[in-house]
Structure 1
């Protein structure tokens, strides 16, 4: 639709489809995308003919996360990386808004399905895990690599979907896992070869769209309130504050400086190499832009 710049919205046969549409950037999240996701969900909510919402990505993958190449390599103060000393509540307000935009998929009265091919990495996994159901290609990948340095997943859905041990494993390592592993541990409802992904989505959507909207709403509310009673809102507040801290910690500032010095790709390789972050990084003076 012409009023969206980062996604496409279509609806038919009781299914609304939200397609993340920045394929040239692997559908990376920019400043406009979170709010547009919320608006698309609200459009589907307002349509009495829609029973199910499917979220997918255009091009080679679902979503590569926040556009960290753009953010990390940019000089000067940018959204998510303030000059020091930084104001954590300014950062919190920005990321809380994004988190709640993604959570519109969770709060929607209608069931939401994430269709994952390629990768749902970092912020892309945030979007996917705010959906009620995740269906993946077997060779697709999901995970939150910035948990190693420069990020914490703000919707904090990992523990509620997986329990503490698997959540700690994936959040502490930042590992990406494929669809087979995601299905095995219960993160994905189903994993199929990519050629069969649309058929798998159609099977689930087909079962759901035949159920009355009020019945879908009631059963979703029952399950959601159980998760929310476990403290989801407070967990998200912690995660959102910690995400800002991660980007302004000595190691977070080191990572951004390295991205500016050697490029984002090489900085990521250094971050993910398994070697300790450069010795003395915590004692380095902050470099003001």
Structure 2
């Protein structure tokens, strides 16, 4: 198929999936999730491919959902006051399942993270089996402060309860060095060495027969399934819809529509109090 949001290339036993909306920092639009699924399926169907590498073009891995579009305009992710939670769940669960084809892929997946992997971009990265990060890259889920819940729910499975709470109760991001120290990433290396580090690991995996790779991965993944991963994702996806339609979520949407997404995010991430129940919007910033 012809992809519009990513590119696909295979060589030397590896498939390279490159998110390719660099002008938007590879932000997720309505097309990208299904194209990720299609590319993963293509790699799994190719007997010459043993390992999948996921990366981003330009300055970032992925900056999350294209919320400049989704927050400033009316769309499927922000329904009227009387909203349909099942309609919201079906659409967002479809995206989550598309991302999670990276985890369910029979062949191992490596996320090569540079720049930012934030919000929905962190969902994509954490759906991969292994993360290798540039030491100055940033990963986190800022919408945990308002207007979001990570639908793949992988923070707790990667970090355990305490550090998952540290991240999701603040919406903070951490750099690659910290992510590696915490076990969120396998390794963090200087940005100039990122390509070489990922290639070395991918080549090492690609030397293993596909059957062996598949069996080892399925054995590890079923342990997470037994810990309730699928049920946790159902709850997280429902909660994500609620966060976008709660009083606080509507407050944030009104803020973005009035002042623009960047000003709304600047307020969200500043540490200033987000009022329970929404409340009045803050005064407009004075224009220069």
Using the size of structure 1 for normalisation, the TM-score is 0.95
Say whether residues 1:183 and 2:165 are aligned partners: no
User: Is 2:252 the partner of 1:255?
Assistant: yes
Partner of 1:19: 18
Whether the aligned pair in 1 keeps the contact of 2:249 and 2:278 (CA below 8 Å) is: no
Alignment of 1:1-289 (within 5 A): 3-74=2-73, 76=74, 78-278=75-275, 281=278
After TM superposition, the structure 1 stretch with the greater mean CA deviation from structure 2, 90-99 or 265-274, is 265-274
Q: In the aligned structure 1, how far is the partner of 2:271 from the partner of 2:60?
A: 26
Asked if structure 1 preserves the Cα contact closer than 8 Å seen for 2:248 and 2:276, the reply is no
Q: Distance in 2 between matches of 1:12 and 1:120?
A: 25
Gaps of 5+ in 2: 282-288
Cα distance between partner residues in 2 of 1:90 and 1:279: 26
Counterpart-to-counterpart distance in 2, 1:46 and 1:114: 20
Q: Is the 8 A contact 2:8 2:16 kept in 1?
A: yes
CA distance, structure 2, for counterparts of residue 241 and residue 194 of structure 1:
37
Partners of 2:277 and 2:214 lie apart in 1 by: 53
Question: Residues 9 and 261 from structure 1, CA distance in 2 versus in 1: closer, same or farther, beyond 3 angstroms?
Answer: same
Q: Separation in 2 of the partners of 1:16 and 1:161?
A: 25
Distance 2:130 2:273 in 1: 37
Supply the distance in 1 between the matched residues of 2:256 and 2:132 (Cα, whole angstroms).
33
Structure 1's unaligned 5+ residue stretches are 285-289
CA distance in structure 2 between the aligned counterparts of 1:195 and 1:170, rounded to whole angstroms: 27
Report the secondary structure of 1:207's partner residue.
Answer: helix
Question: What's the secondary structure of 2:49's corresponding residue?
Answer: coil
1:273, distance to aligned residue in structure 2 (A)? 2.2
For 2:112 and 2:98, locate their aligned partners in 1 and report how far apart those are by CA, in whole Å. Answer: 19
Secondary structure of 1:142's aligned partner? strand
CA contact (8 A) 2:153 2:232 kept: yes
Give aligned pairs, total.
Answer: 281
SS of residue matched to 1:173? coil
Q: CA deviation at 1:283?
A: 9.3
CA RMSD in angstroms, aligned pairs only: 1.3
Partner of 2:106: helix, strand, or coil? coil
Matches of 2:96 and 2:35, distance apart in 1 = 13
Q: In structure 2, how many angstroms separate the alpha carbons of the residues matched to 1:275 and 1:201?
A: 39
Instruction: Measure the CA separation in 1 of the matches of 2:159 and 2:271.
Output: 25
Separation (CA, whole Å) in 2 of partners of 1:24 and 1:271: 23
**Who is 1:287 aligned against?**
none
Cα distance in structure 1, aligned partners of 2:279 and 2:260: 21
TM-score normalised by length of structure 2: 0.95
Instruction: Label 1:279 to 1:127 Cα distance change in 2 as closer, same or farther (>3 A).
Output: closer
Aligned position for 2:284: none
